[in-house]
Structure 1
Amino acid sequence: MRHYVFSLVLTLATLTVSAQTTRKYSNEFMNIGVDAAALGMSNAVVSQTDDVNSGYWNPAGLVHLEDTQLALMHSSYFANIANYNYIAYAMPLDDKSAVGFSLIRFGVDDILDTTQLIDDQGNINYDRISTFSTADYGLTFSYARKLPLDGLNFGVNAKIIRRIIGDFASSWGFGFDAGLQFESKNDWKFGIMARDITTTYNAWSIDEEKFEQISGAVDGENQELPETTEITIPKLQFGMSKKWVFHYDYSLLAAANLNMRFAQNNDIISTSFASINPALGFEFGYTDLVFLRAGVGNFQNELQIDDSEQITFQPNFGVGFKYRGIQIDYAFTDIGDQSAALYSNVFSLKIDFSVFR
C-alpha cells in the first residue's frame, strides 16, 4: 500500500513542479546531455564537437561532417526507474552547410494509478489499479553553415518540447538555440552555445477533474490547480580546447567549459545576476582507435548541517572504441553530484555512413 501512495505522491510532485509560471529550471531534461563520449568529459565539448551530436552540444559543429551520421544513446537513472533515450541524424548539404535532427525521450513508465482503488463505499478493489507514464520529449532541428571568415562557423536549433503526465496533463513548448565555433591558426578551438535564446515557452493543458482526484487521494493534501505556463530562461556556455598529437599515434585533448545561468543558485560562482559552473574534460587517444576520457564538473557550494559550506563536484569517466566509421562509447556518470546520487552507466553508438560506401 505504501508503494501505491508513493506513486501518487510522485505524480503529484511532478505535476506541481513542472507547471509553474516563469520557473527558472523548466525542461531540465534537455540539459542532461547526450553522447557517452561527451558525458565522460563532463560535457566540456562546446568548442570541439564536430559530429552528429553537435546538434545538441553546439550546432555550429555540424559543418565538419563529411558524410551522413547516425547516433543512438541509452541510459537509466534513479535505479532504472527513469529511462533516457536519444537518437540523432545529420548530413552535410554541401562543403559549407549541414543539417540534422535529434529526438530525446526522458520518461518514467508503468507508474501505478491508485486513484480508483477505494470506491465511494470505502471498498478496496485492486482490479481498479491502472498504470500510466510520464514522459518528456525534445525534438530538435539543426542547421549549420561556415561563415566567410576562415575558421568561423555558426549553427541554430529549433526545438519542439512535448511533456506528458498520463492523461492528467500535457504541454507543448517551442524554443531556439544558437552556437558559434572558431578555430585559430594555432589549433586552439573556441565555442559559444546560447540555449533557449528567445526563452522557451511551455503551455500546459491540465485535466481539472483528474487533478482533483489525485489531490484528494493523498491524505492531508489540498493542492491548488497549477498555472498553465512555464518559461525556460536562456543559458550560455563558453568553451575552449586544444588537441596535441605525440609520436603520430598518441593524442591528448584538453577542454574547458564555463556554463552560465541567469539565476542565483548553488554554483561555485553565484551572483544575483548569474551563476557560473566550470567543467574540465580530457581525452587520451591511441591511433584514433581507443580512447580514455575523464572530466570533472557540477561544482556546487553545498550547505552542511552546521551551516557551513562545502564545495562538491562530479567526476566522470569513459572509454571509447572506433573502427571503420563505427564508434561505441561508454561513460560512468550521473545527473547529480558525487555524494548525493547513484552513478549511471551510459552507452552510445555512432555510425558514419561512409563505412557503407
Structure 2
Amino acid sequence: MSAFEQGRVRPGGDGLANAAAEKLRSMAPAAGAMAYPFLLDGFHLTVSPADGPMSFGRLVLAALCLLAATGAPLLGLACAYWMTKAAPSSFELRARRLAYLSIGAPPLFVLTGVGLGLLHIHISDELIWIAGWLAACLYVLLGSEQERPATSAAIAPPIARWRVTHGVAAAVILLYVAFHLTNHLLGLLGPEVHATVMKLGRTVYRSSVIEPILVALMLFQVAVGVRLAWRWSSGPADAFRVFQIGSGVYLAAFIVTHLNSAFVSARAVHHVDTNWDWASGAPTGLIHDAWSIRLVPHYALGVFFVLAHLVSGLRGVLIAHGMATALANRIWATGLAAAGLIAIAIMSGLCGARI
C-alpha cells in the first residue's frame, strides 16, 4: 500500500472526511502548477533593479522563489509515485495522470505564453493558465470512485514493440542532442565560441535533408512517448518507472514547446535567428526580464530530463541484458547527478557566467 493510499484510511475516522482529504491531496500537483507562474513573478520582483546593491535577504528570497518554481514539477513526480495503485478508480487514475501532467508545467507555461502571442490574444497568460488547471481539476474530481479492473496483459506485445521503436529513434536523436548540449556548454567560453560551433553544426542538421528527418523523429518520439506514458500510467510502477514516465512527459511538452518557439514563432513569424542571443534573452537576459525568467526552469529541467530519461532507458537495457540491478541502479544515479551538473553549467552560461 502506497503512502497516498494509507492516508485514505484512518481507524475510527470519519469516512467522508477522509474522502475529502484524499481529494484535496490529489489536487496538490495542480496547486503546485498553478503557483508556478507566481513563484517566477516573486523572483522577478525580488531581483528587479532597485537603488543600491541587493540585500542578503532579497537574495535569499529570490533563490527560494526560483528553487520553489524549479521544484514544482518534482512535486508532481512525487505525487505520481504516491498515487500508484494496481487497480485505481477513475478518480484515482485521473488524479495520477494529472500529477504526471503537472511535471510538464515549465514548458507548458512557455507554450501558453508563446501561443497567445502567436494568436494575438491579449489576455493574461497567467489567467489562462489558472483557468486551464482549474478545468483539469474539475475533470479529475468528476471521476468515479469505483475501482477499475486491472489492464489486460494481452496488449503488452504491441506496447513492447513501440518501446523498442522509441528506443531506436532515441539512439538516432542522441547524436543531435549530444552536439546541441555540447554547443551550449561551450557558451561558458563566450557567445563567439558557441556561434562558431553552431555554424559548423548547422551545415548538417539544418540541411534540406536532415532537418525534416530530425523534426519528424522528434514528433514521432512525442507521439510514441505519450502513448507509452498513457499506458504505463494506468498500472503499478516502481520509482524507476515513475521517473521514466515523468521525465518522458516533461520531454514531450518540452519538444512541442521548443519546436513551436523555434520554428513557428522565431523563424516563420518573427524571422529571428535562433542563436545565442535568442536563447539567452539578450539584451535584457533571462534573469531580469519578466517574461524570459520562465525560460530558466524550462531550459534547466529540459537539459536534466533529456539526459535523465536517456539514462533511465539505458538502465532498463542493461538489466535486460543481464547486468546486476544494483550496478545498473548505481549507473542510473551517477547519470542523474551528471545530468544535474550539466544542466547547471548550461544555465550558468545562458545567464552570463564565463570561464
Q: TM-score, normalised by structure 2?
A: 0.24
Which one has a larger percent strand, Structure 1 or Structure 2?
A: 1
TM-score in terms of structure 1 length: 0.24
User: Per residue, is there more helix in 1 or in 2?
Assistant: 2
